[in-house]
Chains A and B, each alone.
Chain A
Amino acid sequence: MNEQEILRTELRWALIVAGAVGIIVAVIVVSSAAMVLHPPSNVETIDPTTLHLEGEFVENNLGSVENPDGTITARILATQFMFVPRCVVVPAGRRVTFRLTSPDVIHGMLIDGTNVNTMVMPGYVAQVNTTFPEPGDRFVPCHEYCGLGHGGMWSMIRVVPESEWKPDADGRMSCEFPY
């Protein structure tokens, strides 16, 4: 094998590599542009020391609420070592916007069987949108180590059929954490 021949084979392989990487990137670009698949990135700040006193994360404003346009907003506080509220009820088939923040340390939240996943950081509001196609109970663990009680920090999303979504006059509905 002479040197030129080796160089030719290497270059041919480099073209294949470029093609493979190109295809991977193209798939990601097309899916993020066409299917609007973006990671939670709203860069919205909030003062973690006054959360409980003022603004949207005061205690009686937590949980799920129906908006005038029929979509749902669910506000959840991630604290050491529980989500407040521990059970959140939402109707199937409607657009749900989760808004989360933390008054203390960094937490994480994911909803099993969905692609809802976000870090929850003091100082920032994390926002994720989703639609649950099927009713059922979903497991929602904290996924970032937040202290010794981290393992016990999990909550539930109860997805109910449209017929069982019966909010009160303020558009709110709540559920009991059964465990």
Chain B
Amino acid sequence: MNSPTSRLVRAHLWVAFAAFAVAALMGAAQMLVRSELTAPAERPETYFISVTAHGTLMAYVLPTLFIMGFGYFVAVTALNRELPSMKAAWIAYWIAVVGIAMAAVTVFLGKATVLYTFYPPLTGSVFYYLGLVLVVVGSWIWCVQMLLAMRNWKREHPGVPVPLAMFATVANAVLWLWTTVGVAAELLFQVIPAALGWKQTIDVGLSRTLFSWTLHAIVYFWLIPAYIAFYTMLPQAAGGRLYSDTMGRLAFILFLLYSLPVGMHHLFMDPEHGSGFKFLQMMLTSLVTVPTLLTIFTITASLEIAGRLRGGTGLFGWIKKLPWDRPMVLAGGLAFVMLGFGGFGGLINMSYGMNAMVHNTSWVTAHFHLIFGGSVVIMYFAIAYEIWPKLTGRPAWSVRPLRYQIWLWFIGTMTMTLPWHLLGLFGQPRRVSTFDYSFPQIAWWGPWTMMSVAGGAIMFLSAFYFVWNLAKVFRGEPRTDIHMTYALAVHPPHRLPAALNGFALWNWLVLFLMVIAYAYPILQFFIIDAPPAMIHRA
């Protein structure tokens, strides 16, 4: 990779990982506050500022900046051509950085202690929201770059399949453009006018519904880089081949289709929607398991090819022969385990009736930390370790620290989320700074929260170990070969139908599904004329 692009990619990744390190520290501190132990500065103000910052940095800054940087890397290495516009890419970067600074300063000053979900009538300072709007605007410029990069490449290579890594990256850009429509409408038409004092009341049913539009699909936006690594990096790192390129394309298309018309499963327990649309979106949610289940098969088959090529025999003998010492392979294996647990919990969350057991309890926090930490972030680590030598021209002097760091992350994530699942089932609410453990019904929670304290501390160690690894371990002998090689399919496609090589058809289908799933739920607020709520400025 040439050095101007490398600088661009590294600039994005460092912002992402700096935000990650700060957020990890705050996460570990929050575990302490919730436990029976006493944390420094244990006051509701500091706790909720910390939760707001942790969520904002982890959910909006880390993934967005990582995905932008990684997307530029894929566009340049998979298509083997320059970005459409380096200038636009840097402008987008600085817009996002200014936005991050604006939002972060506002939160740390205690002017937007509203948590990172936009649920008015509780509203914070307008600078918090404007800062996040800038981050999204920066990411939109990235989306346009990805779309242009693929279009330009296709013009030069008529009829040739777009490399899978780029196809998936563009799928994510398209998904993100659709995803942000909901929250952008909520912020621009409802929350920001309220935060500016132009409006004194707000339709809370509408704002929650618009936020739900974004709320599920955003998780798939975060997750798609992990899947790009599963399909295009993991088989290569394991020394095998991708079992099926077509299945990969299909999985990314299904993510685009089914991660959007399902957000109302976050509103199952809301009084402003009837059971009909809740039921419909639950049915659609069940379909979002399909691309993940297809992926598990295709990737397991790809790894089996690698294991057998390395001399593995028997039904499971090939698993032992896989090169588990390589960070990408190790992270991939552990991510599958945690995706399994997290996915299982997710099936319970989406179950229309069972959701009442766990809604807004620690179970939910456990679920999304398992998915985000255990599948998304662990693969961000692996991707960073994989591409860092291509960016700097210097490999790691040892893979051992990289491996230890990944193991620590796995252990920490499992230790932290297991007690949350349990306590959530017994009604421990999320988003509470402290509990009165003298109340006999909840006294037994104490020891379990201590286990989460330990898990959080291990994750925090791992987070800093990761940053240290990037800064200090990639100091091996400089290499001239900095060419990125993506996994080759067993049968690389030569000709593909247009539907598997672009997104025009799928955009129409997304539109169709979104009209079915969301047209009435949004329009109903203009029909039933619910009394608005008074704005509460935090």
List A residues at the B interface (Cβ < 8 Å).
1, 3, 6-7, 9-10, 13-14, 17-18, 20-21, 24-25, 27-28, 31-32, 35, 37-49, 80, 104-106, 108, 110-113, 115-127, 137-139, 141-151, 179
In this complex, the interface size class of chain B, counting residues with CB under 8 Å from chain A, is 35 or more
When the two chains form their complex, are residues B534 and A39 in contact, meaning their CB atoms are under 8 A apart? Answer: no
Residues in A neighbouring B148, C-beta threshold 8 A: none
When the two chains form their complex, are residues A39 and B352 in contact, meaning their CB atoms are under 8 A apart? Answer: yes
Q: Which 7 A-B pairs have the closest CB atoms?
A: A37-B353, A112-B427, A122-B533, A143-B429, A143-B360, A126-B271, A47-B531
> How many interface contacts (CB-CB < 8 Å) are there between A and B?
212
When the two chains form their complex, are residues A145 and B436 in contact, meaning their CB atoms are under 8 A apart? Answer: no
18 contacts between A and B (CB under 8 A): A14-B294, A21-B286, A21-B289, A27-B351, A38-B353, A40-B269, A41-B270, A41-B275, A45-B528, A49-B534, A108-B360, A108-B429, A117-B359, A119-B269, A119-B270, A143-B360, A143-B361, A150-B48
Min Cβ gap A99→B in Å is 10
Residues in B neighbouring A127, C-beta threshold 8 A: 271
Min Cβ gap A128→B in Å is 8
Closest to A141 in B: B429
When the two chains form their complex, are residues B205 and A123 in contact, meaning their CB atoms are under 8 A apart? Answer: yes
Residues in A neighbouring B205, C-beta threshold 8 A: 121, 123-124
Residues in B neighbouring A41, C-beta threshold 8 A: 270-271, 273-275, 278
**18 extra interchain contacts, Cβ-Cβ under 8 A, other than A6-B244, A117-B357?**
A24-B286, A28-B352, A32-B353, A39-B352, A39-B353, A48-B531, A48-B534, A49-B534, A105-B121, A106-B208, A121-B205, A121-B271, A143-B359, A143-B361, A145-B48, A145-B114, A148-B48, A151-B433
B530 at the interface (CB under 8 A from A): yes
Residues in A neighbouring B272, C-beta threshold 8 A: 43, 121, 123-124
Residues in A neighbouring B501, C-beta threshold 8 A: none
When the two chains form their complex, are residues A144 and B536 in contact, meaning their CB atoms are under 8 A apart? Answer: no
Residues in A neighbouring B301, C-beta threshold 8 A: 9
CA distance A18 to B432 in the complex (A): 39
When the two chains form their complex, are residues B297 and A13 in contact, meaning their CB atoms are under 8 A apart? Answer: yes
Residues in A neighbouring B270, C-beta threshold 8 A: 40-41, 119, 121
Residues in A neighbouring B83, C-beta threshold 8 A: none
When the two chains form their complex, are residues B534 and A104 in contact, meaning their CB atoms are under 8 A apart? Answer: yes
A21-B122 contact, Cβ under 8 Å, with A6-B490, A6-B491: no
When the two chains form their complex, are residues A43 and B271 in contact, meaning their CB atoms are under 8 A apart? Answer: yes
Residues in A neighbouring B528, C-beta threshold 8 A: 43, 45
A117-B360 contact, Cβ under 8 Å, with A21-B290, A126-B271: yes
